Structure formats: structure tokens, C-alpha cells
Amino acid sequence: MDIIKMYGTKTFSDEVMREHLPETVYRSLKDTSRLGKPLDPAIADVVAAVMKDWAVQNGATHFSHWFHPLSNVTAGKHDAFLSITRDGKVIGEFSSSALVRGEPDASSFPSGGLRATFEARGYTAWDPSSPAFIREGTLYIPTAFCSYSGEALDSKTPLLRAMQALNPQALRVLRALGNTTSQLVIPTVGAEQEYFLIDREKYESRLDLKLCGCTLMGARPPKGQELEDHYCGRIRLRVADYMKDLDEQLWALGIPSKTKHNETAPAQHELAPIFETANIACDHNLNMMEVMRITAKRHGLTCLLHEKPFAGINGSGKHNNFSLTTDDGINFLSPGKSPAENKLFLVTLCALIECVDNYADLLRMAAAVPGNDHRLGGGEAPPAIISIFLGAEYTDMLTSIAKGIRPSLRDPAALNTDVAILPRLEKDNSDRNRTSPFAYTGNKFEFRMLGSSQSIAFVNTILSAALTDVFARFAQRLEGCDDLETEVAHIVADTIQNHGRILFNGNNYSREWAEEAARRGLPILNTTVEALDALQNPKNVDLFCRTGVLSETECHARHEIFMENYVKVVRVEAETMLYMAQRQILPACVKYMGLLSDSLNALEKAGVENQTLRQRLVALSRQVELLVQRCDHLLESCHGSRNKDLRQRAGFMQEEVRSRMALLRESCDTLESMVGAEYWPMPTYTDLLHRI
Ligand code: ADP
Ligand code: MG
């Protein structure tokens, strides 16, 4: 198989455009997609015609404006390339207006009050910077989704706004530092995606997995991840087949899938693509998640993208690797041979330190989804406290520069294995820190807090907006200074003095760190509900308004949408749990108790007294009583959430409903270990995790 040959065959790529579009149209479109020049409406006709011909030749019968409403899924309706002329002739049609503009009904998507103030009408607008692609016979056209009055109702629009705002300020910094060649600065992102694969038939017989994407109960299996035998272990044949199929489809779609391996938990895996422009990386990640699910189905498997499908073993995250790159290939976070003299590197490090310290609460918010609450801080993922890992080497370098001392960087040491035939390896400047939520990893920062089900758009929007703000100030300082080296040293000194508290190179899982972080005054936002309030914090609203990324109305709408989503998700989980406990587990227990009591009766008739069996029955009966009680309590608290305003309801779901769910779960799991295996009404953790 030739990856290069199959790569991008299903995407309206740069190559396809160059080949099929007239030279002037191609240039014009390229200027728009790369340099951010306004789209020339005159070229839309030609692009639409060429795009349609290419799509039809490649098996498409329909087109769809593909957009990302604020529900972490993608949406779009499908229209056939079909029209009937006045004299009854059937023709294949795709006009420029169909390419450029769509009109889905905005009232059926989360709008957070924007709908009440404005009209239900919504528009999708073609994003020429993200390539269209063909999947299952449809030409998908990436679009932005806005309300009638132009408010963003999606995750793409603010990201594009933030990238647009960042470019000129980042260029200013570059120019001030003497760069004369670069024309464009873009955020680059590589998103590593974790997921679980389980057998489809077993998935189908669990209501919690089907409705909530995660298990709501399940006793701890005899074997979890304790033997540490899954991470990067041999990939099972069935899984390997799936991964191969998946890769081929991703490559055809122009998604640069690169690395695959088994993850820590049983049945858990990871896929990492090569980094791309933030906007495209984001579209590709969402597309990839869809292809992962669809492909699993074809292999008799189910792909779980939930953050915490199973209690007691690791959940799934998404690592967002972030840097800034120019059109001529300069990476802002590349230290180069002499990092202490690399002004761009130093200034960018400082800018990010300031951003992360000032907007730690917003970054935490970007990872706030109900599923992630079970994961963050569990000693498997970063805690809910934001801090930066730079490594000792670069931390010392910055503190030295801040003190006016010339930093002495060690030459990279060699690794000695004491085996003559093995190659000499050059070591990296610093070791890894897997526990940090925001870690410098050599030429990029890795944000490790995102949940596996989330879109990566918001976190990159926040980073880009915050950088815009800081770069504008740094640029001003650098433009007006007498001596660049001195000014950069001042910037470093100010950053360490004002924002040094955000740096932490130790173990983020430790209790001491939580205490230390509190002493340093860092925000500790343990739950989604608390974290979402960052969207109402005036300093954050101000940042978004100042950079033109979100208006105040849009911030409040988002707060409402995410809060409402939280309430709905917890409610669905609670009701699913009640259904399973009352209508599946309770009857199973009663049936098994019948078996025990029949056996006891039979023994008694035969004149045999069996105390242990009797005790078993009594214990079971007590547990069943507790189960019923806890069901009643949960039901009660579900009703108790009514008649409250949205914020109160969310708090109530968090504190009351979720803690009662935890109690009910405890009962279900205890009963699972007491009831005969063939009586248990659903696949167990062992079935799900080890039998695929
Ligand atoms: P790690 O071992 O740190 O996870 P990898 O080299 O496997 O490192 O990279 C992880 C992800 O980071 C990949 O998706 C990779 O493409 C991405 N990445 C590498 N360089 C950059 C960069 N300059 N900007 C953004 N992402 C990057
Ligand atoms: Mg990584």
C-alpha cells in the first residue's frame, strides 16, 4: 500500500485546486485561505463548478454545509446535486450561493438565549481555509454557523476570529525583533486522541453505554490496569484491523494520522496526527472522531469517546499540542542552539506564562464538560489546577536572565547504556513531566486537560486571544526600546516577578501541590459548574471583547449553553441509572434470591440446615433494601432540581444528584458481586474490557 498515493484522494486539497482551478482563481482563493484576505465573491462561481465536478467524479451525490454547533458534535443537512429545469430536464446543480451560504434553522441548536432576543434564522458561511472532503457519498463543506444577527453559534467562528486577531500582533513582535521575511503567523495544533474500543454486541446490551456513552455502574474487575501490561503493548488482531482501516480512511481524507498505540487502561488506545493549522486541526479532529465511530461499527466494535467510560481505570483525554509558526517555517517555541539568546523564544515563553497565569480559570473552563469531572484530579490526568511545567533547565534560564545573570545552559548530555554496540543517544534538555496540565515539550506546549469527547476549538481560541493581548503589549515595548537585549531581559524579569507563581515542575498529582497552589492564589476549580463561571468573569469577558473574539452577549450565551448541557447530561445519567437499577438489577436480584430460598427450602425438607447459605440470602436481601432506598432518594433529588434557576440547578445536580448517584452505584456494584453471574442482567467490566 502506498500512503502517498492514497493520501488526500477524498479531499478538495491544494493540489486538486491547483490542477483544476484557473490560475487567477486559485491565487485569489489561496490569498484568502492563507493570508486572511477577504473572499472575492466573483470566484465563487468557478470554485463551485469545479468543486462539484470533482466531487461527482469521486462518487458524491450530495453536498452538506458541515458545522460545529456548541454541542461537541457536527451537524449539516444533505442536499443532492440535483435540479429540474423549467422544461422538465434533470440537471446536476451546485451554485455559488449554495457553496457560500446555507440556512439551517438555528432554533434547533443550543443558542443560550440568543434565540429569544434574535430570530430563529441561522446561517452557515463557507470557510475557504478548511478543505472540503467527501465521505459516504456527500461533499462536506466546512462552514461557520451564526445567528441572523451574526452572533457565533458554533466553535469555529471564534477560533477564526482569534487567529485573525493574533496574526498582526505576532507579526509586530517578529518585526520588532528584526524579522523582515514572514508574512503570516498561525497557531499550529496537534491533538492526540484517546479512545476505548469495545465489542458492539456487549455495548448494545448496556443502556448506560448506549444513552450516556459511559458505564454508570460496574463492579471492579479482578484485572484492571494494575499490571501495566497494556500501554504500548501488542495490539490485538481485531483492533489492529480496525486501526488499519481507520488510518486508510483518514489518509484518504487528508487527515495526517501518524501514531497509534495501546493506552494505559485495558481496551484503551490512542491516535495522534501530525500537527496542522489550528482551524484545520480542529476540523480534522472532529472529522476523525466521526470516522472512528463509524469504522468501529463496521468492525462489530464500538468506539467510546467519553472521558470516563469506566470507573477505577484511566479515562480518556485529548492532548492539545500548541505552538506558533510563520508561513516561512519559524516556530516561535523552538529554542534553537542557544535558547538564552533566542529573543523570539524568550518573549514567546514569557507571553505564554503571562497568558496562562492571567487566564488559568478560562483554560480550566475549556476542559469543563460533565464527563471530565470524573477524570481530572484522579491521579490519572492533571488535577483541576492549571500550572506550567517548563523543566528545571528553562526555569533556571529564565530566573537567571531575570536576575541579570548570564544563564549557563548545559550541553545536552549523552545517554550511557554501558553496552558498546548500542548507539550513543543525545539526551533532551529536560525530562518529561506527565502530571502537568500545561507542559513545555521541546518545541510546543501540551495542554493535557481536555476531555476526549471535546472539540479543541475553544482552548485554542483562548490561547490565541490571550496571546494577541500580551503580544500587543510586548510589541509596543520592543518597538520603542533602545536596546532589544535589555528590553527582552526586562520582559523576562517582569514575567517571573508577576507570573512566576504559575510555574511548577513538581508532581501535580500530590496533595502538597494542591495546598501550595492554594497558597500561591491559583484558581482551584474542581467541578464543571464552578469552572464554567469563568465565562462570566469580567476580566475574561473583557479579553474576548477587546480582541474581538466574542462579544459580551456571546460569552453569556456560551455560559448558559454549557451550564444547560451539564444539567441535561446529569439528568439523563440519573434517569438511566434509575431505569437500570429498578428495572434490570432489582428483578435480577429477586430472581436470584428465589433460587437461594428454593435451595434452602429443599435442604430443609431433606433435614439439612445450611447457615451460611441462609446468611447469604439475608445479606442479599439487606442490600436489595438499600438499593431500593437509594433509588428513591435519587428520584427525589431529581425532582428537587425543579423550580430553580439554571445556575442553582447546575449546582444542585453537581452536589445532590451526583452524590446520590454515587451511593446508588455503590449498591449496584455490591450486588453485582453477590448475585450469580448468569443472573446478572448486563455485561460486566471484565466482559467489556477483556473480551473484544
Ligand atoms: P510527544 O511525545 O511529546 O507526545 P510527538 O512528537 O509525538 O510528541 O508530538 C505530539 C503531537 O504534537 C503530534 O501531534 C505532533 O504533530 C504535535 N506537534 C509537534 N510539533 C508541533 C508544533 N510545532 N506545533 C503543534 N503541534 C506540534
Ligand atoms: Mg503527548
129 close to ligand 1 (CB < 6 Angstrom):
no
How far away, in angstroms, is 318 Cα from ligand 1 center? 13
Q: Is the predicted pLDDT of residue 618 greater than 90, yes or no? A: yes
> Same structural domain for residues 249 and 116?
no
On whether the CB atoms of residues 383 and 375 are closer than 8 A, the answer is: no
Tell me which residue has its CA closest to atom 19 in ligand 1.
275
Q: Is the predicted pLDDT of residue 35 greater than 60, yes or no? A: yes
Ligand 1 closest atom vs CA 331: 23
Mean pLDDT of 202-207: 98
Residue 582 lies in a domain: yes
Q: Which residues contact 64 (CB under 8 A, 6 or more apart)?
A: 76, 77, 78, 79, 138, 139, 140, 141
Give the Cα separation of 24 and 46 in Å (integer): 11
> Same structural domain for residues 605 and 517?
no
Confidence of residue 418 (pLDDT cuts 50, 70, 90): confident
Residue 607 lies in a domain: yes
Q: At what angle do helices 484-499 and 392-402 cross, to 10 degrees?
A: 110
Q: Pick from 545, 536, 361: which is nearest to 469 by CA? A: 545
Give the Cα separation of 591 and 426 in Å (integer): 65
pLDDT at 115: 61
C-alpha 223, offset from chain centre: 28
Taking only the tens place, the pLDDT of each residue in 641-661 is 877 899 999 999 999 999 999
Q: Is the predicted pLDDT of residue 195 greater than 90, yes or no? A: yes
Confidence of residue 303 (pLDDT cuts 50, 70, 90): very high
Q: Is the predicted pLDDT of residue 561 greater than 60, yes or no? A: yes
Bridge partners of 123?
146
> Same structural domain for residues 534 and 575?
no
Q: What predicted TM-score, i.e. pTM, was given to this entire model?
A: 0.96
Q: Give the CA dihedral 600, 604, 610, 612, nearest 10 degrees.
A: 30
Q: Is the predicted pLDDT of residue 314 greater than 60, yes or no? A: yes
Ligand 1 closest atom vs CA 274: 16
> Same structural domain for residues 149 and 167?
no
On whether the CB atoms of residues 218 and 669 are closer than 8 A, the answer is: yes
pLDDT at 479: 97
Final residue in a domain of this structure, among 154, 189, 205: 154
How far away, in angstroms, is 316 Cα from ligand 1 center? 18
> Same structural domain for residues 261 and 363?
yes
pLDDT at 162: 98
> Same structural domain for residues 130 and 196?
no
The rounded radius of gyration (Å) of the Cα atoms in the chain is 28
pLDDT top residue among 1 and 623: 623
> Same structural domain for residues 141 and 169?
no
Q: DSSP label at 582?
A: I
Residue 486 lies in a domain: yes
188 close to ligand 1 (CB < 6 Angstrom):
yes
The rounded mean pLDDT for the chain is 94
Please count the other Cβ atoms lying within 10 Å of the Cβ belonging to residue 692: 20
pLDDT at 151: 92
**For the chain, what is the domain count?**
3
Q: DSSP label at 385?
A: B
> Same structural domain for residues 292 and 365?
yes
Choice from 193, 271, 321 to test ligand 1 binding pocket (greatest atom count within 8 A of CB)? 321
189 close to ligand 1 (CB < 6 Angstrom):
yes
Q: Is the predicted pLDDT of residue 213 greater than 90, yes or no? A: yes
Residue 417 lies in a domain: no
How far away, in angstroms, is 320 Cα from ligand 1 center? 9
Final residue in a domain of this structure, among 501, 524, 550: 550
Residue 561 lies in a domain: no
Give the Cα separation of 510 and 435 in Å (integer): 10
Final residue in a domain of this structure, among 127, 154, 181: 154
In the block, residue with C-alpha cell 488535577: 383
pLDDT top residue among 111 and 208: 208
Q: Phi, psi (5° rounding) for residue 381?
A: -130, 165
Residues, beta carbon < 5 Å, ion ligand 2: 319
Domain boundaries, position 443: 162-216+229-409+422-550
What CATH number corresponds to the domain at position 93? 3.10.20.70
What CATH number corresponds to the domain at position 666? 1.20.120.1560
Confidence of residue 519 (pLDDT cuts 50, 70, 90): very high
Q: Is the predicted pLDDT of residue 409 greater than 80, yes or no? A: no
Confidence of residue 21 (pLDDT cuts 50, 70, 90): very high
Residue 224 lies in a domain: no
Tell me which residue has its CA closest to atom 3 in ligand 1.
441
How far away, in angstroms, is 259 Cα from ligand 1 center? 11
> Same structural domain for residues 116 and 209?
no
C-alpha 150, offset from chain centre: 26
Tell me which residue has its CA closest to atom 11 in ligand 1.
190
Bridge partners of 142?
66
> Same structural domain for residues 236 and 97?
no
Mean pLDDT of 32-61: 92
pLDDT at 63: 96
Q: Phi, psi (5° rounding) for residue 75?
A: -140, 170
Confidence of residue 541 (pLDDT cuts 50, 70, 90): very high
**How, if at all, do strands 388-389 and 438-440 pair?**
parallel
Give the Cα separation of 250 and 253 in Å (integer): 5
C-alpha 425, offset from chain centre: 34
Residue 560 lies in a domain: no
pLDDT at 674: 97
On whether the CB atoms of residues 216 and 576 are closer than 8 A, the answer is: yes
Q: Is the predicted pLDDT of residue 116 greater than 70, yes or no? A: no
Q: Of 61-75, 103-117, 154-168, which one has max mean pLDDT?
A: 154-168
Mean pLDDT of 552-565: 96
Taking only the tens place, the pLDDT of each residue in 442-495 is 999 999 999 999 999 999 999 999 999 999 999 999 998 999 999 999 999 999
> Same structural domain for residues 125 and 184?
no
Q: Is the predicted pLDDT of residue 119 greater than 70, yes or no? A: no
Q: Is the predicted pLDDT of residue 427 greater than 80, yes or no? A: no
Q: How many helices (H) and strands (E) does the chain have?
A: 25, 19
What CATH number corresponds to the domain at position 308? 3.30.590.10
Mean pLDDT of 359-380: 93
Confidence of residue 229 (pLDDT cuts 50, 70, 90): confident
> Same structural domain for residues 197 and 252?
yes
By percentage, how much of the chain surpasses pLDDT 70? Answer: 99
326 close to ligand 1 (CB < 6 Angstrom):
no
Residue 279 lies in a domain: yes
Helix (H, G, I), strand (E, B) or coil at 186: strand
